[in-house]
């Protein structure tokens, strides 16, 4: 690994850990960047899981120290998420790099659409009371959490945003609480995915270690901001820009702009 690649991985890890903690979908920075640096799509998908686990574990510990995690709600949301993640991870390890590349591109586009539509308005609304509220979670909530876990295990990209949407819109959980709860839920599903990808040999450990260490630093900073006010709107605006650029980058790698220009010529 050369110095430029190492520096790029450290920057990606910092950004991914920070975004995962304060908002969601840090993988939209990490996975496409690794592919751009020359890693195969399937291995990049697996390698990103160690950084996710390290960063989310750091954030969860910080939130626990602050007494901010509603553990009963967290455990209720975690079980279906983990079950879905097992199935999604097994599918991801069985598909070719071409299929995974298209799935990543599709997930980036989906996340971008989510962020510029209703979720943006939802995430900018005033926070409810910080006290934990009694929430009645119905069958639809558990089904959607399992589906989100499946996607988290399969690709990971976009699953953070999906998790927040399910927790807030289907679970009726206040946004600030949902964002904190999300970290442990995602940590659990990411651990399952990491184990499966590791057993299948789809992790580049040389790349994963600097990503994970820098991801922990990014998550530590993100946790401090996530416990305060005003950070979510800024991060989501930045995430819109990041995801938009990554969509354009993937389209360029797939040759779609060149083909379009050739057709118009």
pLDDT of the residue at 227: 81
pLDDT of the residue at 133: 47
Global pTM? Answer: 0.78
Instruction: State how far the Cα of 24 lies from the Cα of 182, in Å rounded to an integer.
Output: 9
Instruction: State how far the Cα of 236 lies from the Cα of 233, in Å rounded to an integer.
Output: 5
Instruction: State how far the Cα of 165 lies from the Cα of 114, in Å rounded to an integer.
Output: 9
Instruction: State how far the Cα of 160 lies from the Cα of 26, in Å rounded to an integer.
Output: 8
Could you list the pLDDT tens digit for every one of the 265 residues in the chain? 789 999 999 999 999 999 888 877 788 788 888 998 999 988 998 999 999 999 999 999 999 999 989 898 899 999 999 999 899 888 877 777 677 777 777 777 777 777 677 555 555 454 544 444 445 678 999 999 999 999 888 877 677 778 888 888 888 887 778 888 999 999 998 898 899 999 999 999 999 999 999 999 999 998 988 887 776 666 666 667 766 766 776 677 666 656 666 666 5
pLDDT of the residue at 132: 44
pLDDT of the residue at 130: 41
């Amino acid at each position: 690994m050369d110095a430029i690649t190492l520096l790029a991985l450290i920057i990606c890890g910092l950004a991914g850990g920070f975004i995962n903690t304060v908002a969601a979908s840090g993988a939209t920075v990490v996975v496409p960047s690794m592919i751009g640096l020359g890693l195969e799509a399937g291995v990049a998908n697996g390698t990103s899981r160690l950084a996710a686990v390290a960063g989310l574990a750091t954030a969860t510990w910080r939130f626990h120290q602050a007494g901010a995690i509603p553990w009963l709600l967290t455990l209720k949301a975690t079980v279906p998420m983990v079950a879905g993640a097992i199935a999604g991870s097994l599918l991801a390890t069985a598909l070719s790099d071409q299929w995974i590349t298209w799935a990543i591109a599709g997930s980036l586009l989906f996340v971008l659409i989510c962020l510029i539509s209703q979720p943006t308005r939802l995430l900018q609304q005033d926070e409810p009371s910080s006290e934990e509220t009694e929430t009645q979670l119905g069958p639809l909530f558990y089904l959607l959490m399992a589906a989100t876990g499946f996607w988290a295990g399969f690709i990971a990209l976009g699953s953070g945003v999906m998790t927040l949407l399910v927790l807030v819109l289907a679970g009726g959980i206040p946004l600030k609480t949902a964002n904190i709860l999300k970290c442990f839920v995602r940590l659990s599903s990411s651990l399952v995915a990491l184990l499966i990808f590791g057993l299948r040999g789809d992790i580049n450990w040389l790349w994963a270690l600097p990503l994970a260490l820098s991801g922990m630093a990014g998550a530590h900073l993100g946790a401090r901001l996530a416990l305060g006010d005003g950070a979510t709107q800024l991060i989501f605006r930045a995430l819109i820009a990041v995801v938009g650029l990554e969509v354009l980058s993937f389209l360029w790698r797939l040759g779609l702009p060149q083909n379009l220009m050739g057709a118009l010529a």
